[in-house]
């Protein structure tokens, strides 16, 4: 009977099935920053649902319990304004939840997270542009009418055309001073959102959001939608 060899051959190491070195994905720093900003911004924007509830209470519930709510008849002129803000708050709140979800999923490199952020980016650009147009076309004239109504209430008699024209002139000057900063602010927001969309659409970033394959299977190729 022969004896075993004194120098046995080493057994080659076999990596475990759950460890696939070729599928290791490193999240870029910029993508991490975008994801965390989306989480914070989405959490803040989701508070719009509370704002919508507040506008609903002021517009529809408060008059039932407080007939003279606000103490100024001019407040009733803000009815359309409250409805407008309630709808915008609802839209902003639900979009904020989508942005928050997209940020969380993006941290885990989930394909749905990238899609959520791209969808929110497109929504935000349209929301900023159309919201600014609506502000100058509807909200500013409504605010001017409320100021004129409050002037009529505070005076003992009907205000003269001079007083009314003065109120309109003051409001026009205030609106002119805020128009240029508002346009600049919207332009910056649209530019930042567009840059983020461009970054998320890059092929190098899209390839990070491919779901890892099971052990023993090839990693799926091709671009991610």
In degrees and rounded to multiples of 5, residue 87 shows phi and psi of: -65, -45
What is the predicted pLDDT for the residue at 21? 46
How far apart CA 69 and CA 60 sit, in angstroms, is 11
Distance, in Å, from the CA atom of 152 to the CA atom of 159, rounded to the nearest integer, reads: 6
C-alpha span between 11 and 199 (Å, rounded): 47
3-state SS, residue 213: coil
Residue 214's pLDDT is 46
Answer with the residue of higher pLDDT: 163 or 105: 105
CB 125 within 8 A of CB 190: yes
DSSP state letters, 3-61 = PPPSSPPPPPP---TT--GGG--PPPHHHHHHHHHHHHHHHHHTTHHHHHHHHHIIIII
Q: What is the mean pLDDT of residues 209-215?
A: 60
Indicate the Cα dihedral angle 149, 151, 152, 156, nearest 10°. Answer: 160
Q: What is the mean pLDDT of the chain?
A: 74
pLDDT for 218 equals 45
- Token match 């240029």: residue? 180
Burial class (CB in 10 A: 0-12, 13-18, 19+), 31: buried
| pLDDT tens, position by position, 12-59 | 776 655 544 444 567 899 999 999 999 999 999 999 899 889 888 877
Give the model confidence (pLDDT) of 151-170 as tens digits.
554 555 555 555 555 555 55
Distances (CA, A) of 50 to 61, 66, 92, 94, 155: 15, 21, 11, 11, 36
Q: Supply the Cα-derived Rg of the chain in whole angstroms.
A: 29
**Per-residue confidence at 221, pLDDT binned at 50, 70, 90?**
very low
- pLDDT of 73 strictly over 50: no
Q: Which residue has the higher pLDDT, 79 or 18?
A: 79
Report pTM.
0.66
């Amino acid at each position: 009977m022969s004896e075993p060899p004194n120098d046995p051959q080493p057994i080659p190491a076999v990596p475990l099935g759950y460890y696939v070195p070729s599928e290791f994905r490193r999240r870029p720093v910029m993508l991490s920053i975008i994801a965390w900003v989306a989480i914070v911004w989405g959490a803040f924007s989701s508070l719009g649902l509370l704002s919508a509830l507040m506008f609903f209470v002021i517009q529809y519930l408060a008059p039932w319990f407080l007939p003279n709510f606000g103490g100024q008849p001019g407040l009733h002129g803000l009815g359309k304004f409250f409805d407008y803000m309630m709808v915008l708050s609802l839209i902003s709140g639900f979009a904020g939840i989508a942005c928050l979800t997209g940020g969380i999923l993006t941290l885990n490199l989930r394909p749905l997270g990238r899609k959520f952020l791209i969808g929110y980016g497109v929504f935000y650009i349209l929301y900023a542009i159309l919201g600014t147009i609506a502000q100058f076309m509807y909200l500013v004239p409504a605010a001017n009418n409320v100021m004129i109504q409050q002037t009529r209430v505070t005076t003992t008699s009907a205000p003269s055309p001079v007083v009314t024209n003065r109120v309109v002139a003051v409001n026009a000057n205030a609106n002119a001073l805020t128009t240029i900063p508002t346009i600049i602010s919207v332009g910056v927001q649209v530019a930042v959102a567009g840059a983020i969309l461009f970054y998320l659409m890059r092929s190098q970033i899209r390839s990070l959001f491919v779901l890892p394959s099971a052990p023993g299977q090839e990693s799926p190729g091709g671009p991610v939608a």
